[in-house]
Amino acid sequence: MVYLDWAASAPPDSAILKQMTRDAVRYFGNPSSFHTVGKAARAALERARFNCARILNCDASQLVFTSGGTESNNIILLSVLNSYEPASLVISGIEHASVSQSANMLSSLGWKLEKILPNSDGRLDGRKVAAVLEENTKTRLVAIMAVNNETGAIQPLEKLTAAVRGALSSSKKRVHFHADFVQAVGKIPINLSALDIDSASFSAHKFQGPRGIGLLYHQNPNFRTLARGGGQEHGIRPGTENVAGAIALASALEKYSQPSQGVKENGIWLLSQLAGNPTLAKLARIIPENRVNSPEGSYTPGIIAIGCPPIPGEVLTRVLANKGFVVSTGSACHSNRRKKVPEKFGGLTLPKQTLNSMIRVSFGPSITRGQLEEFLKTLKTEVQILLKQTR
């Protein structure tokens, strides 16, 4: 089996999981206890927090351990219920369901929700963001993800934050800017101190760590969360901390936080083969269409979206799986919905037939060129067979 669905969940590092098991036994004490066992767990937890902060370039006090990206996103989005009367909320049209569905819930409670769609390249335009904000001067929160999980589009966060600050410079209250970084780790360099964002979310299982552990970065705790409990994690995420998970997250971040040269080279090669091979170019459509000739840094090389109309993406994924290649039709979270054809893919409005045919190929550093070559051969053969069957 060749696993090409890393954007859904990266295969965990076995050495990190083994160490996590040992740490779960070693640091079994409650970090809030004052005895020696609890203090040992607390010390290990804070070491993990410090190590994460060092890698992400922020202060350790700005990091909160959570159960993952969904919880981190929900903490921020729903915190507005404790902080403001209903006003305006702005998100991009490419957000993960944990952001978009939380925003929809706020909309049902009286918040005015504005969604900004990307350009045809899957990336947001700062001018478009500024225009929306100038029309919604009572905006309290803006949420824009760093890397799109379906098209691989890297959002120009520096330009977008500048657009937000400039458009709302007359506001007496600082508008909270939240960035979902769940797909960003290992794909783009991350320097939180260099970004003018207020919060960011991370999830360990996207960069070969364990499931059930994540991070929430906050530049300044200028928000009040809904959750109540024992006051752990500065009261932002109460509940007994997952010490072994936090240590494992820090280890995975240390090992896999930097973009892989191998993934870059393989991604460029795969794109060139899809676009340059006469047969494949006729069979497979790369989304967005201008990705092949885009400037470096516009897309992460490890996420590539392909459409093979009129073949349904679900059919092609099953056929490829039977041949030993695991791909997906897009976001794993969206697949839980009972809607066969999505309205958009990566925020892009596409012909219905193209949307229905989309598959996503995503991979990490352990995937080899040889495996991708075999994948392309299989893709070409199976698509040709399926096209004959649809005629």
Which DSSP string do the residues of 254-297 spell out, in sequence order? HHH-SPPHHHHHHHHHHHHHHHHSHHHHHH-EEESTTSTTPPTT
Q: Which fold has domain 2-10+259-390?
A: Aspartate Aminotransferase, domain 1 (3.90.1150)
Residue 58: active-site member: no
Q: Is the pLDDT of residue 339 over 80?
A: no
The greatest distance separating any two alpha carbons of the chain, rounded to the nearest whole angstrom, comes to: 73
Q: What is the mean pLDDT of the chain?
A: 93
CA 111, 150, 107 angle in degrees (round to 5)? 10
pLDDT for position 140? 92
Burial class (CB in 10 A: 0-12, 13-18, 19+), 1: exposed
Mean pLDDT on 89-110 = 95
CATH number of 14-256: 3.40.640.10
Q: Residue range 241-253: average pLDDT?
A: 98
pLDDT the model gives residue 331: 63
**Is-contact 329 314, C-beta < 8 A?**
yes
Residue 334: pLDDT band (50, 70, 90) is: low
Q: Which pLDDT does position 337 carry in this prediction?
A: 52
- pLDDT(307) > 70: yes
pLDDT of residue 231: 82
Instruction: Answer whether residue 333 shows pLDDT above 80.
Output: no
Continuous segment of H or E residues that includes residue 217: strand 214-218
For residue 107, how many other CB atoms are within 10 A of its CB?
15
Catalytic residue among 52, 58, 308, 333: 333
Lowest mean pLDDT segment, chosen from 171-175, 197-201, 301-305, 385-389: 171-175
pLDDT surpassing 70 at residue 342: no
Q: What's the mean pLDDT in 345-351? A: 89
Share of the chain above pLDDT 70, in %: 96
pLDDT for residue 106:
95
As a whole-number percent, the residues of the chain with pLDDT over 90 amount to: 81
pLDDT of residue 126: 95
Entry pTM: 0.93
Q: What residue spans define the domains of the chain?
A: 2-10+259-390, 14-256
pLDDT given at position 168: 81
